Amino acid sequence: MNTELTADAIGRVLVVGAGTMGRQIALQCALHGLAVDLYDTSPDALAAAHNEINILAASFARHGRLSPAEATAAAARVAPTSDLPAAAARADLVSESVPEDPALKGRIFAQLNELCPPRTVFTTNSSTLLPSMFAAATGRPERFAALHFHLPPWDANVVDVMAHSDTAPEIVALLVAFAHHIGQIPIVARHESSGYVFNAMLSALNGAALKLAAEGVADVADIDRAWMGIMKTPIGPFGIMDMIGLETIWTITDFWATTLGDRGLRANADFVRGYLDRGRQGRKNGHGFYDYPHPAFAADGFLEG
């Protein structure tokens, strides 16, 4: 295989999917000097991403993490686009952050394989799906692996590198070096495992919290109070799920409920679906398990009930 691409030679990244995770990955790459094309089919998503990236960059300057000039330059390195062929043609590395559906991811990567040059490395930011579920569809399985980020990547700067059986060792080494290059701590999985490392632990917490709520054992606020009060954290599992986004939580839970035929997971998915059906998507639209920008769990006296 062609191994001439090195981490230092990755100058342009294509991020596919301009949701919360995609736009933050784009900004993280831009903060470290890379040019980024941020692709989405939705004009509204691209506009929202452009606005949020500028707000975040300004916040970094306001808090002294960057100079105003550095913040402006970083934001300017992210180019929102709906022109996939043009963006793909110049990409050294692709980071995909579309919904957790292996068929959808496979279709997107198959399209990208036709559009990207042979040197381009493909990565998925999937949080629970295994790379092998859609590796063949990429058309270049030896140059494909998971590179999974956490929110927000400039603070929660741990990234999972997970290969599948056909990933070339040189690509794993390249992704580890690339992770370091953009300020991340790479965690290399020894083999495929759903949930990767941190998310496997977080998913267990979230699943247990959803089960308690779906079965009516306790309400959302009290479940969060239990976790926050004992673990001394500023946020509980339902606040975390609002941050992730309830569409993402539902998609993941529904996928595994269907795949495994698990009635407990089905009840959890249906519980989340009830919130989505009422237009409550999480922090991104201001309404999830809590209401934002001033969620109840952040208020004085929340732990006292």
Q: What confidence score (pLDDT) does residue 283 get? A: 94
Tens of pLDDT, residue by residue over 130-148, are 999 999 999 999 999 999 9
Q: What confidence score (pLDDT) does residue 127 get? A: 85
Share of the chain above pLDDT 70, in %: 99
Q: Which two tokens mark 74?
A: 């970083």
Rounded Cα–Cα distance for residues 229 and 249 (Å): 24
Q: What is the CA radius of gyration of the chain?
A: 19
Q: What confidence score (pLDDT) does residue 3 get? A: 47
What number is the average pLDDT over the span 120-125?
Answer: 98
Q: What confidence score (pLDDT) does residue 85 get? A: 98
What number is the average pLDDT over the span 71-98?
Answer: 98
7-188: CATH topology: Rossmann fold (3.40.50)
pLDDT at 281 over 80: yes
pLDDT at 122 over 70: yes
Q: What are the C-alpha distances in Å from 29 to residues 13, 26, 76, 154, 219? A: 8, 5, 12, 10, 39
Q: Which two tokens mark 119?
A: 């040197």
Q: Which two tokens mark 303?
A: 């732990």
Tens of pLDDT, residue by residue over 34-82, are 999 999 999 999 999 999 999 999 999 999 999 999 999 999 999 999 9
Rounded Cα–Cα distance for residues 192 and 163 (Å): 7
Q: What confidence score (pLDDT) does residue 291 get? A: 98
H helix runs in the chain, sequence order: 20-31, 43-62, 68-76, 84-89, 102-115, 169-181, 198-214, 220-231, 237-244, 246-260, 263-277
**How buried is residue 83: exposed, middle or buried, by Cβ count under 10 Å (0-12/13-18/19+)?**
exposed
Tens of pLDDT, residue by residue over 255-265, are 999 999 999 99
Q: What confidence score (pLDDT) does residue 2 get? A: 47
Q: Where in the chain are the domains?
A: 7-188, 199-298
What number is the average pLDDT over the span 190-219?
Answer: 95
Residue 125: pLDDT band (50, 70, 90) is: very high
pTM assigned to the model = 0.86
Residues sharing a CB contact under 8 Å with residue 259, sequence separation 6 or more, in sequence order: none
pLDDT at 199 over 70: yes
Phi, psi dihedral angles at 16 (to 5 degrees): -105, 115
199-298: CATH topology: N-(1-d-carboxylethyl)-l-norvaline Dehydrogenase; domain 2 (1.10.1040)
Of the candidates 262, 264, 260, 128, which has an alpha carbon nearest to the alpha carbon of residue 200?
128
Q: Which two tokens mark 31?
A: 């903060």
Phi, psi dihedral angles at 94 (to 5 degrees): -110, 130
